[in-house]
């Protein structure tokens, strides 16, 4: 895979999990450079279709919210709303804390926490974290992004109040049904079906990140871009309307 947008390597240490962004049990970080590359490709696709943003973004398997939080900082002026859902209420609490950092109020709260650590432990890593907070705050260029965090099993076909989303981006549990925490026999198909209902009918796309073994396709979607990197596959899908 060749990077189209994040061509040169940058220092993304401000986004290190546990420095400013929160981490927790059953939450994982995601490569910042890859996150930026993926979302810039998504923006490029939508802009080519006349949708210039700001965009409403949704991650239905958000975990600790690392991908969404990263996007919210790096492309603050292009995002109007972020929606995060997950089946696991405990990891959703981590996502809420991370997404709260996209506001000056949230960063100020985190700064006070870290200042308390400095007073208690005096570690250099905590001083570096304060510097990172200042760097992250400089990325917030406008009014707060609207944030929603809700518990949801994306494989449950019950109606859910999410609609008119421009970009769905999700790093799914890698093909292991147990990891999905669901009784669904085919969680990936249910993911596609529920995501289809949530997308804007005029300008939208879905990006699914999975391991290379997972089969990513659905009759409601057309794959428009695809690449592999390491153990991951990244597929971009456009919803097909009038496909009855």
Closest CA to 68 of 91, 48, 52, 45: 91
Could you give the domains of the chain? Answer: 25-102+144-239 (3.40.50.150)
Task: List per-block mean pLDDT (blocks of 10 residues) for the chain, which spans 244 residues.
Answer: 94 96 91 98 98 97 97 97 96 97 97 96 94 97 91 92 97 60 78 96 96 94 97 97 65
What would the two tokens of residue 122 be? 């005096």
For residue 155, what are the contacts with CB-CB under 8 A and spacing of at least 6? Answer: 180, 182, 184, 187, 190, 191, 194
- Look at residue 171 in the predicted model and tell me its pLDDT: 96
Strand partners, 169: 207
- The pTM score is 0.94
For residue 136, what are the contacts with CB-CB under 8 A and spacing of at least 6? Answer: 14, 20, 73, 101, 107
What CA–CA distance (Å, rounded) separates 26 from 10? 27
- Look at residue 185 in the predicted model and tell me its pLDDT: 74
What CA–CA distance (Å, rounded) separates 178 from 86? 15
Q: Count the Cβ atoms, other than its own, within 10 Å of residue 186.
A: 12
User: C-alpha distances in angstroms, 7 versus 27, 29, 176, 230?
Assistant: 28, 21, 33, 17
What CA–CA distance (Å, rounded) separates 189 from 215? 10
- Look at residue 141 in the predicted model and tell me its pLDDT: 83
Give the distance from CA 145 to its chain's centroid.
14
């Amino acid at each position: 895979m060749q990077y189209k947008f994040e061509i040169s390597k940058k220092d993304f240490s401000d986004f290190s999990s546990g420095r400013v962004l929160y981490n927790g049990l059953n939450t994982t970080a995601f490569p910042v450079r890859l996150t930026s590359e993926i979302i810039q490709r998504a923006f490029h696709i939508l802009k080519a279709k006349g949708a210039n943003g700001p965009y409403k973004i949704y991650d239905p398997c958000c975990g600790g919210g690392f991908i969404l939080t990263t996007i919210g900082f790096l492309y603050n002026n292009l995002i109007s709303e972020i929606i995060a859902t997950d089946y696991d209420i405990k990891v959703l609490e981590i996502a809420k804390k991370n997404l709260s950092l996209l506001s000056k109020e949230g960063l100020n709260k985190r700064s006070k926490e870290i200042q308390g650590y400095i007073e208690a432990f005096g570690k250099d890593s905590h001083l570096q974290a304060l510097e990172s907070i200042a760097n992250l705050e400089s990325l917030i260029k406008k009014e707060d992004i609207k944030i929603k965090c809700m518990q949801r099993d994306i494989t449950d076909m019950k109606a859910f109040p999410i609609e008119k989303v421009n970009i769905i981006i999700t790093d799914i549990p890698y093909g292991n049904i147990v990891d999905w925490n669901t009784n669904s026999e085919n969680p990936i198909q249910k993911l596609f079906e529920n995501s289809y209902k949530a997308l804007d009918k005029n300008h939208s796309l879905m990006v699914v990140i999975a391991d290379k073994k997972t089969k990513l396709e659905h009759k409601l979607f057309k794959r428009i871009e695809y690449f592999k990197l390491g153990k991951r596959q990244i597929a971009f899908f456009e919803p097909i309307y009038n496909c009855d």
